Structure 1
Amino acid sequence: MCLDIDDTLLDNAASSRSGLAALVGHDAAWPVWRRTTDEHYARYLAGDVDFDTMLHERTRAFFAEFGELLTDAEVARREHHRMCAMQRAWRLFHDVAPCLEWLHASGYRLAAVTNAPGGYQRKKMASVGLSGVFDAVIISGEVGVAKPDPAIFEIACAELGVPSHQVLHVGDRLDVDATAAVRAGLRGVWLDRSGVPAPRQTDVPVIAGLDELPEHLVCDYGVEHADPPRSAALASAR
């Protein structure tokens, strides 16, 4: 089983909103921040800029949208303030620990597959109790390839020691996670937490929360249900 991290296990959108609110006093400009993030994060994933440069260029571009031109020093000060506030808000979704417990008790080997810098993502995972939970951690910044490239899924399967057709990947992005996994030869599940009906037909199963994943596995793949005790490691992930 492969699992995405941001907005699959960790509520990254909520923590990002908290960071934005700390930056400007509210999160009403979230659509602008989200669009600016998408543009600049794509440059980071493409290797055009490093992560820290991307953070600063995004903050500069965001304020430029509202006519405020910042010096380098002011960009660095504001980005540091935003990042600290966001990190204080990192939290797992409520359905994560029970699902991980069930997967472990059912005998699944687990891999985290995520697009991010290695040190940053490992710090994030440690802060919410996910260190030591996975059999393999595949981070784009460490392996040099990012989702939706099939190579990152191939690396995950090799790390798990399981053929790709026997591996399921779950993530919050239909294109980057679920369908990309299918193209790589895995099974894909789209975790759509939006509560809004899917805008188009999809060729992959869709779940609204990780509390639906065990039932999906039992019904579709015949996995025997497990009712595991709560381990100390996973209980700390709450």
Structure 2
Amino acid sequence: MIRRHIARKPLYSGIASREGRSAARSCSLDRESFSRPELSSALMTTAPHPGRPVGPDSSAQPVALLALDDTLTDRAAAFAAWAKEFAAAHSLPEQWLHDADAEHSGRRRDFFALAKTTYALPGTVEEHYTAFRRRTPQLVPHRPAVNAAIQALAAHGWQLAVVTNGDHDAQHAKLAAAGLADLLPTVVVSSDHGVRKPDPALFHAALARLGATTKEAWVIGDSLEADIAGGNRAGLRTLWLSHGRPHPGGPLPQHTADDIVEACAWLLAQER
């Protein structure tokens, strides 16, 4: 039975309203291109790490290995846009799709099998699954504040790469829809390497592409298992994006921020 719940609010929904505020004094950037609200000290707790700190005494270029889904992009917003289209096309309740997604996220064929059984959908489960995988990357929203944050890192000499689990074409389509493809040309996708995060091999493949070492690199992502545990195992510093969630226990990051914009501001502030 599907449990009722309220559909998740898309991530970063408050960014636009916050862009005009003054940034935290320790993380202030050019206000015309990149501003953030005052950063919460509760979110900015850094654990000790033996690696070289990022700062003015650092001799090598710093590196950021960035997750994609729910880090650079907003999965909830893309799913909500798809659900609206699909519900209208098949005359079924939009909220039902959100409820089913909560039950079957990560098991998308089961999701469509349930939808087909419940609402007698035409077509096969595989046809709906294929159409979903093709359409949802196109619905990933473009968020200027995220793009500005990535541009700020690049402008300050950071080497950047995307490290993501998923299908090559779908993940690249998400980056294009978000307006990030040109900003992040180095993309390491699990389907191209035969391994998935948290396997350290995927992070090491990204470092090899950049010609970088573990001492220079941070892993930034929202998944404690895939990103934080994986980055820790790879010998990298890790920064968890909490999206307002308390840490549930398990893998510990060296630092926590609320979202990718806040994370980028914090990384740049360490150079001062």
The bucket for the TM-score relative to the shorter chain is 0.7 to 0.9
Larger radius of gyration: 2
CA contact 1:9–1:93 (8 Å) conserved in 2: no
Q: What's the TM-score once normalised by structure 2's chain length?
A: 0.65
Task: Report the alpha carbon displacement of residue 76 of structure 1 after superposing the two structures with TM.
Answer: 5.0
Q: What's the TM-score once normalised by structure 1's chain length?
A: 0.74
Alignment match, 2:241: 191
Deviations 1:104-158 (A, max 9, x none): 1110010001111112211222222222322521001111111111110111111
CA contact 1:36–1:62 (8 Å) conserved in 2: no
Alignment match, 2:9: none
Deviations 1:169-222 (A, max 9, x none): 1111111112211111111111122x2333347621110022322442245xx3
Aligned counterparts of 1:93 and 1:174: Cα–Cα separation in 2: 24
CA contact 2:242–2:256 (8 Å) conserved in 1: yes
Residue aligned with 1:110, SS? strand
Find out whether 1:169 has 2:169 as its counterpart: no
Aligned counterparts of 2:188 and 2:198: Cα–Cα separation in 1: 13
**Which one of the candidate residues 62, 77, 80 is aligned to 2:114?**
62
Alignment match, 2:72: 9
Alignment match, 2:191: 141
Range that drifts further, 82-91 or 161-170: 82-91
Aligned counterparts of 2:177 and 2:265: Cα–Cα separation in 1: 29
Identical aligned residues as a percent? 27
**Which one of the candidate residues 201, 204, 227 is aligned to 1:154?**
204
Find out whether 1:223 has 2:271 as its counterpart: yes
Aligned counterparts of 1:5 and 1:125: Cα–Cα separation in 2: 8
Find out whether 1:211 has 2:261 as its counterpart: yes
Deviations 1:69-111 (A, max 9, x none): 667x343554466556634521144531121111011100100
RMSD after superposition: 2.6
Q: Structure 2 vs 1, CA of residues 75 and 97 (structure 1 numbering), >3 Å: closer, same or farther?
A: same
Residue aligned with 1:95, SS? helix
Q: Structure 2 vs 1, CA of residues 218 and 97 (structure 1 numbering), >3 Å: closer, same or farther?
A: closer
Alignment of 1:15-34 (within 5 A): 15-24=78-87, 25-34=93-102
Aligned counterparts of 1:60 and 1:213: Cα–Cα separation in 2: 36
Alignment match, 2:104: 36
Q: Structure 2 vs 1, CA of residues 86 and 201 (structure 1 numbering), >3 Å: closer, same or farther?
A: closer
Alignment match, 1:49: none
Alignment match, 1:106: 156
Q: Structure 2 vs 1, CA of residues 4 and 192 (structure 1 numbering), >3 Å: closer, same or farther?
A: same
Range that drifts further, 100-109 or 29-38: 29-38
Alignment of 1:107-122 (within 5 A): 107-122=157-172
- The answer for unaligned runs of 5 or more in structure 1 is 41-54, 225-238
Higher helix share: 1
CA contact 2:225–2:251 (8 Å) conserved in 1: no
Alignment match, 1:181: 231
Task: Report the alpha carbon displacement of residue 35 of structure 1 after superposing the two structures with TM.
Answer: 3.2
Q: Structure 2 vs 1, CA of residues 196 and 170 (structure 1 numbering), >3 Å: closer, same or farther?
A: same
Alignment match, 1:91: 141
Q: Structure 2 vs 1, CA of residues 83 and 18 (structure 1 numbering), >3 Å: closer, same or farther?
A: farther
Q: Structure 2 vs 1, CA of residues 156 and 179 (structure 1 numbering), >3 Å: closer, same or farther?
A: same
Aligned counterparts of 1:202 and 1:114: Cα–Cα separation in 2: 19
Matched letter for residue 148 of structure 1: P
